[in-house]
Amino acid sequence: MNYDRPRQLAEGEHAGKWHYTTGNRRSGVYPIGYCAEHAPHDSEAEARECYGQYQRDRIELRENACSWAPCQIKDCDNPARNVAQSGGWHTAALCNDHFTKADAVAALHLDGPAGDSMHS
């Protein structure tokens, strides 16, 4: 099981700074997203926003990529066959009327800082 969340660095030249990380008992803990490429953040909130932006920047829209499903935009009853995806486990079905990046952000619940995640 992988646990994604911000973690504060305990030692080294950046002790006290923050990265958004993933970790498990087998592979250890390491920074992900833009945090893997850049210096650590001053706060947990900055690390969460950094990973949230990374997820938004990686949204892919695929037309006719699933069987019919309900559109995942709130209060929309249209059938959907399009898929929005960010990362390996964040997916949402979107109808033709909501097949935009802005609606994908809303359907994937990526319109703010990243929360904690547990996935395999």
pLDDT in tens, 10-48: 999 999 999 999 999 999 999 999 999 999 999 999 999
User: Residue 89 pLDDT > 90, yes or no?
Assistant: no
Q: Angle at Cα 48 formed by Cα 19 and Cα 20, nearest 5°?
A: 25
Q: How far apart are CA 20 and CA 48, in angstroms?
A: 6
pTM greater than 0.75 (yes/no): yes
Question: 116 pLDDT exceeds 90?
Answer: yes
